Amino acid sequence: MDADPGAAEAGREYDARPYLPSGGGMRGLRQAAAGCRGCPLFRDATQTVFGSGPAHARLMLVGEQPGDQEDLRGEPFVGPAGRLLRKALDEAGLADEGAYLTNVVKHFKFTVAPRGKRRIHKAPSLRETTACRPWLVEELRLVAPDVLVVLGGTAGKALLGSSFRVGEQRGVLLPMPALDGGRDGSAPGQLLATVHPSAVLRSEDRDAAFAGLVADLSVAATALD
Ligand code: URA
Ligand code: SF4
């Protein structure tokens, strides 16, 4: 029997907070996240996929959760969605910005296709995004970016609340919400929401969707000039 069965088996509420370190900066945070068992997603995934990039980047981007390739390599945005995102950042003039990339949920959630072994992305539940969010809050506190780009609905809801709709709030610079325990007011920096690169890949008009992503990222670029 495992020494730490994790929150689910122990009947605790899903929550990453018991696994947060008391200090140690970004390295300490990353190391602690590698051992997180705050929700059941650690069990089927290969490893924790923590954020990557300069610890004091001016630009930070947050997606939903790692995909198949991210899970295997332990790095965010290294699969097809990541390639598209890098191309969009390039076209928006942000290629050299040295962004910090991360996700709301740090373990890959998937189902296995009926025949064969292909792992198919499954959207994380609200319980799981809420459980994992403390890692993101700590990353945001440490990086303290000038601009946080929120990619898609899962990340938008995690940061701006459940009424967030990407179609309504995309492409405009918003004040950074204060995330420390729901206090009112705003934190330093600005936030900009846009579509998730996976949504661009799934779109019927991929060129138009890609152009929309680039246009939104270009707004973020103006804030970093
Ligand atoms: N999609 C995400 O949201 N994050 C990744 O890291 C890869 C794909
Ligand atoms: Fe912990 Fe998040 Fe992984 Fe759940 S998904 S085990 S909360 S790191």
Domain of 100, CATH number, reads 3.40.470.10
198, 200, 201, 202: residue to mutate for ligand 1 pocket, most atoms within 8 A of CB: 198
Cα 17 to chain centroid, rounded: 17
Q: Is residue 108 part of a domain?
A: yes
How confident is the model at residue 166, as a pLDDT? 96
How far apart are the C-alpha atoms of 62 and 76, rounded to whole Å?
10
How confident is the model at residue 211, as a pLDDT? 98
Assess whether the C-beta atom of 45 lies below 6 angstroms from ligand 2. no
* 106 CA from centroid of ligand 2 (Å): 6
User: Which residues make beta-bridge pairs with 112?
Assistant: 119
Assess whether the C-beta atom of 70 lies below 6 angstroms from ligand 1. yes
Place of tokens 């899970």: 71
Owning domain of residue 182: 50-224
How confident is the model at residue 180, as a pLDDT? 66
Q: Quote the tokens at residue 105.
A: 């949920």
2, 48, 108, 109: residue to mutate for ligand 2 pocket, most atoms within 8 A of CB: 48
Q: Is residue 20 part of a domain?
A: no
Structure letter (DSSP) for residue 19: G
Assess whether the C-beta atom of 189 lies below 6 angstroms from ligand 1. no
3-state helix, strand, coil in the chain (%, to 5): 45, 15, 40
Q: Is residue 56 part of a domain?
A: yes
Q: Is residue 207 part of a domain?
A: yes
CA angle 165, 98, 132 (to 5 degrees): 45
pLDDT (tens, 9 = 90+) of the chain, 225 residues, equals: 455 777 766 767 999 999 999 999 999 999 999 999 999 999 999 999 999 999 999 999 999 999 999 999 999 999 999 999 999 999 999 999 999 999 999 999 999 988 878 999 999 999 999 999 999 999 999 999 999 999 999 999 999 999 999 999 999 999 999 876 545 566 789 999 999 999 999 999 999 999 999 999 999 999 998
* 172 CA from centroid of ligand 2 (Å): 30
How confident is the model at residue 116, as a pLDDT? 78
Task: Say which amino acid occupies 39.
Answer: C
Contact 214, 220 (CB under 8 A): no
How far apart are the C-alpha atoms of 161 and 43, rounded to whole Å?
28
How confident is the model at residue 1, as a pLDDT? 43
Q: Is residue 8 part of a domain?
A: no
**DSSP symbols for 214-225:** HHHHHHHHHHH-
Assess whether the C-beta atom of 108 lies below 6 angstroms from ligand 1. no
Cα dihedral 158→162→163→165 (10° resolution): 50
Q: Is residue 10 part of a domain?
A: no
Number of domains forming the structure of the chain: 1
How far apart are the C-alpha atoms of 225 and 166, rounded to whole Å?
25
Q: Is residue 17 part of a domain?
A: no
How confident is the model at residue 93, as a pLDDT? 97
Q: Is residue 40 part of a domain?
A: no
Q: Cβ atoms within 10 A of the Cβ of 182, count?
A: 7
